[in-house]
Amino acid sequence: MKKDEKRLRIIESAISLLSEKNFEEVTTDLIASRAKVGKGTLYTYFKNKDDLLGETLLYVLSEFLNATVRTKKCKCDLDRKIDMLFDLYQEIAKSRENLLPLFMRIYIDETINKKRTNIQKRMRNHLISIFKDFESQLASPVDVTVDFIIVNTMPFSMKRFAQDTNYWKNVVEIIKKGIKKD
């Protein structure tokens, strides 16, 4: 098995276990067992449990980044791009709802701050490039618009987004009204 496949299997196993058990109950032994790798193999890829959980957060953030890339490729109008972007975000929020408490717990962890900041910058740059094409339709400069979107889709809101479709639709409408010229 390729190195990246093992690493991903370990991360997915951690995600799976965290959907079943709370943080304290999930051990590296359980993760290694679920991933069908030896505990030593787990430590080949991750220094400790916190490092693994930090990488799990980065993996989930990367899913958001990938969603922005798919949205960027769409040849559609501003409203459709916004709807598409937030539909993808909601899909991720629903599929990873079990990770939200972990997401919040390690979101402030300084040990992964540099990596997280790099992914966030990349995501922000993708969003800026998506909305740059529609700059004349925006009420604020592109970077201000993107910051408005990011603040309104922070992880602490994701649980609500995952559980309440109407809430999600309302947030999307507020974002549209906040960024578009009338």
CA gap 182, 168 in Å, rounded: 22
The per-residue pLDDT of the chain, averaged, comes to 80
Domain spanning 60-179, CATH class: mainly alpha
CATH superfamily of domain region 1-46: Homeodomain-like (1.10.10.60)
- pTM exceeding 0.85: no
Q: What is the pLDDT of residues 27-76, one digit of tens each?
A: 999 999 999 999 999 999 999 887 887 788 778 777 777 877 888 888 99
Closest among 13, 135, 14, 8 to 62, alpha carbons compared: 8
Q: 141 in helix, strand or coil?
A: coil
CA dihedral 71, 75, 77, 79 (to 10 degrees): -20
Where in the chain are the domains? 1-46, 60-179
